[in-house]
Amino acid sequence: MKRIEGIIYTENFDFRAGAVTVDGDRIAAVEFCSEDDLAPERRGQYILPGLIDIHMHGCAGGDFSDGSPQTMRRIASYELLHGITSICPATMTLPEEKLVQICTVCARSVSDQVLDGGIRLGEVLRGIYLEGPFLSADRCGAQNPAYLRRPDREMLHRLQNSAQGLIRVVAVAPETEGAEECIREEKGGFCFSVAHTCADYETARRAMEAGARHVTHLYNAMPPCLHREPGVVGAAADTPDVTVELICDGYHVHPVVVRNTFRLFGAKRVVLVSDSMMAAGTEDGGYMLGDQPVKVRGGHATLSDGTLAGSAVDLCECVRRAVRMGVPAEDVVRAATCNPARVIGAEREYGMLKIGCKADLIVTDGGFFVREVMKSGKRIAGTDLSGDL
């Protein structure tokens, strides 16, 4: 058994002094005490659930859309070392044959690829986020419009068969032909997410009533919320069981809007994502996002025409930046742990520190810089990353 003492992020979404006991790959006990009862060096130490990034494209020079097991292993290793213990990498809008290849390799790799420390890739890579091709040409952002398709259930089934059931989130523009029917009639267990869309309030609301339960990177690649045209943002706010993503890298959404989004939706409904591309964890320069060239300057990732092209920071840095933006730390942690676990249907085992859950946890300092990472009860070697980013 292992016992870790510090300031615990509890299942009541607050911070209390105490200790977490790990037995094998599970949390065996969570006990609380007075902060004065902790050793002095433990009083500034925070114990959080492992972070969960359900929308990211790459990092450390690797792009998930490469479709290679080596790249998938590199991405998962980087994320794990930086406190992100579960990920759902996102595809880009690509030809169907390329998407099939990515899904096929991913399904095979999660079972046979092993990271340092004996952690299986499948313990970290928990699913696939299908961002495209069912998007709007007028709001495609950094997606390649040449490969856009109308929503196609047959294609979706082919991709899910290739992925052996790993596809968790499917992005869709609800105004595209057949979108509403696809959402309503599909019984495959996908979480449909409103994304890259020109939809007005009524169209978005119908999609949500049909079964769409998530919104991809709120505010980005969609019409703004105006007082007479509330759009997707207003429709999501009006639909209590819809969750919304926020990219808190400081470029995608203004800090004032970040703070007000938490107020509007409440901490239960906001999901922090990085939307990181391969430049995360590297330096400024030229990169690729799917088949699109990206330039990163000062941590700002754009296509040649200035279109935002994902972020150049990982989820742990997004957590730190969201806290610096003025969002209460307990709400930020919830948005990066419990809430994303719920979106992908993993909330029974991940995203919280409670008895019976998987022992995925991180230890940080007061600024949420990672000191240690534990995955499935195993301490990940070389995780003294305090002040690394």
Residues carrying an active site annotation: 275
DSSP state letters, 185-209: H--S--EEEE-S----HHHHHHHHH
Burial call 67-92: b when 16+ CB within 10 Å, e when fewer: bbbebbbbbbbbbbbbbbbbbbbbbb
Spatial distance between the Cα atoms of 86 and 123, rounded to a whole number of angstroms: 7
Give the closest residue to 213 by CA, choosing from 236, 185, 238, 246.
Answer: 236
In the 8-state DSSP scheme, what is residue 228? S
β-pairing, 361-364 with 46-49? antiparallel
* H or E, element range at 171: strand 167-172
Sheet with strand 370-375: strands edge to edge: 26-32, 15-23, 2-9, 46-49, 361-364, 370-375, 378-379
Q: 383 with 78: CB under 8 angstroms? A: no
Spatial distance between the Cα atoms of 181 and 194, rounded to a whole number of angstroms: 14
Give the closest residue to 144 by CA, choosing from 190, 113, 99.
Answer: 99
What tokens does 89 get?
């990498």
In the 8-state DSSP scheme, what is residue 13? S
Q: Looking at the chain, how many residues does it have?
A: 389
Residue 40, number of CB atoms within 10 A of its CB: 7
